[in-house]
Amino acid sequence: MATIHFYEKPGCTNNTRQKQLLIKAGHVLVIHNLLTQNWGQEPEKLRSFFGTMPVADWFNLSAPAIKNGEIIPEAIAQEQAIALMIANPLLIRRPLLEVDEQRLAGFDPTLMASKLGLSMTNAGTELETCPNTHQHKSACLP
C-alpha cells in the first residue's frame, strides 16, 4: 500500500476509474487538481513527471488544441512543451502520479509497478484514452 499524490482533471471519467482501481488495490490517494496547480511556480516539478519519455508522449492527445491541430506534439521541444502546459494544463497527460518523490505521467500499470512500486490487479488495458467524442470544443474545458 502506498500514498499516491494523484493529479487529475476533476470530472474526468478516466481519472475517476483510475482512482477507483488504486483505492481498490489498497492505496491511499491525495487528490490534486491538475488544472489549478500552479505549475508556473514549479516548472521543474512538472517536467519531472515525464522522465525520459519522448516529448510527444507528455501530451494529452484528447486535448482540444491537439485534436484540432493547433498543437503538434511531435514538433515541440521540451522547454516549449512545458511552457504550453503551464499556459494550458489540459495539454498535460493525465494523471500525474507521485509516490515518495518518484513521479510518472499517465496510467500504465506496468510502469506504475516498476517506477512507483504500485501494484494492482484487474486494471484493464485501456485507461487513458478519453471515452468522450469531443465533438464540441467545450467538452474538456475546465
Query: Residue 21 belongs to a domain with what CATH number?
Result: 3.40.30.10
Q: What is the mean pLDDT of residues 90-104?
A: 95
**Helix, strand, coil shares of the chain as percentages rounded to 5?**
40, 15, 45
Is the pLDDT at 130 greater than 90? The verdict is no
Residue of 2, 7, 9, 12 marked catalytic: 12
Taking 50 as the threshold, does the pLDDT of residue 37 lie above it?
yes
The domain total for the chain is: 1
Q: What is the CA radius of gyration of the chain?
A: 14
Convert 66-77 to b/e letters by CB count within 10 Å (16 or more is b): bbeeebebeebe
- Is the pTM higher than 0.75? The answer reads yes
For the question of residue 12 being annotated catalytic, the response is yes
Residue 17 structural domain: 3-140
Q: What's the confidence (pLDDT) of residue 49?
A: 97
Task: Classify burial at 102, counting beta carbons within 10 Å of its beta carbon; exposed 0-12, middle 13-18, buried 19 or more.
Answer: middle
pLDDT > 90? residue 119? no
The grid cell for 135 is 465533438
